[in-house]
Amino acid sequence: MNESYFSYKDLYIEDGRKVLEVNILPEKYCNFDCVFCPIGRSQHKTDVQRSFPGTDNSIVELENNINALNPDLIFINSKGEALLNDRIDDIIDLIKANGKAVRLFTNGYLLGRSEYMKIANRCDEVVGELKVLSEEDFQRLQRPIKGYTLAEYISNMAAFRRQYAGRFIFEITIIKGCSDGPGSIEKLKDIIREISPDKIVVAKINDKRFEKKFSITDERLEEISRALLDI
Ligand code: SF4
């Protein structure tokens, strides 16, 4: 029998809600291969769903954890792109059948495709993200599947947002030399207007391995956050 491969963070409280965060991939599967990825290099760079041995047991284990821990929200935040697990529909069904809210973290590129849009539409909250502001930086630093473009990335999230009835959270990670320079704030404001999220989160790279090269100071993060959250 195949073992469960889901993994969990300790239950935590966010805005008064108990959150259970779960990874639903056995190893990294992603349509990008970011140079600053905390998980490492993408051995499986794909935008096609896969099935993984052990999913039935993993789903049973998830239900047991929901019953034992009684969280208010299940946050699907995976080792890569969670939409690539071909049982994600069943996972969302299980969470909803247990009367819990579900939040999905995705890099956002696939949200414009109808099959993935339909899946994400079933979640109460969806988080999409953005890290760089030029096509060159997107290709060089996020190394997506061939043919992907930054323009399509942004328009996919905007298309998703236009028809999504849930809460869309837009996470912007400021990268030194890419999204912190003169003109970045205005560009980001235009993108925020296009996507029209319910909530904006502004962050910086916190992984020690990449801080020197890609992180900005707390003061600069604060300045940029204030300018963006003021929109
Ligand atoms: S999108 Fe996220 S998971 Fe995928 S390679 Fe980039 S940092 Fe890693």
Tell me the CATH number at 52. 3.20.20.70
Per-residue pLDDT of the chain (231 residues; tens, 9 = 90+): 689 999 999 999 999 999 999 999 999 999 999 999 999 998 999 999 999 999 999 999 999 999 999 999 999 999 999 999 999 999 999 999 999 999 999 999 999 999 999 999 999 999 999 999 999 999 999 999 999 999 999 999 999 999 999 999 999 999 999 999 889 999 999 999 999 999 999 999 999 999 999 999 999 999 999 999 877
DSSP string, 190-212: HHHHHH--SEEEEEE---HHHHH
Q: In this structure, what token pair is assigned to residue 197? A: 């999220």
24 φ, ψ to 5°? -115, 20
Comparing CA positions, the residue from 102, 144, 145 lying closest to residue 126 is: 102
- Answer whether 215 contacts ligand 1 (Cβ < 6 A): no
* Angle at 14 (CA atoms; ends 29, 101), nearest 5 degrees: 65
115 within a domain of the structure (yes/no): yes
Say if CB 77 and CB 21 are below 8 A apart.
yes
**Residue 119 counted as domain residue:** yes
Instruction: Determine, yes or no, domain membership for 63.
Output: yes
H or E element, residue 171: strand 167-174
H-type helices in the chain, by residue range? Answer: 55-69, 88-97, 114-121, 135-137, 150-163, 184-195, 208-214, 218-229
The ligand 1 atom at the shortest distance from the C-alpha of residue 107 is: 1
Cα(144) to ligand 1 centroid in Å equals: 9
Q: Look-up: residue for tokens 């990825």?
A: 37
Query: What residue's CA is closest to ligand 1, atom 6?
Result: 34
What does the CA dihedral 79, 33, 160, 180 come to, rounded to 10 degrees? 110
1 is a domain residue: no
Ligand 1 near 42 CB (within 6 A) = yes
Residue 141 Cβ inside 6 Å of ligand 1? The answer reads: no
Check if 205 has its Cβ closer than 6 Å to any atom of ligand 1.
Answer: no
**By residue range, what is the domain housing residue 41?**
7-229
Asked whether residue 37 is assigned to any structural domain, the reply reads yes
Three-state secondary-structure class, residue 84: helix
Distance of CA 86 to the CA centre of its chain: 17
Residue 29 in contact with ligand 1 by CB distance below 6 A: no
Domain count, the chain: 1
- State in Å: Cα 213 to ligand 1 middle: 17
The model's pTM is 0.96
Query: What is the residue with the minimal CA distance to atom 8 of ligand 1?
Result: 37
Is ligand 1 within 6 A of the CB of residue 129?
no
CA-atom Rg of the chain in angstroms: 18
Distance from Cα 14 to the centre of ligand 1, integer Å:
24
pLDDT at 205: 96
80 lines ligand 1 (CB under 6 A): yes
Query: Is the CB of residue 32 below 6 angstroms from any atom belonging to ligand 1?
Result: yes
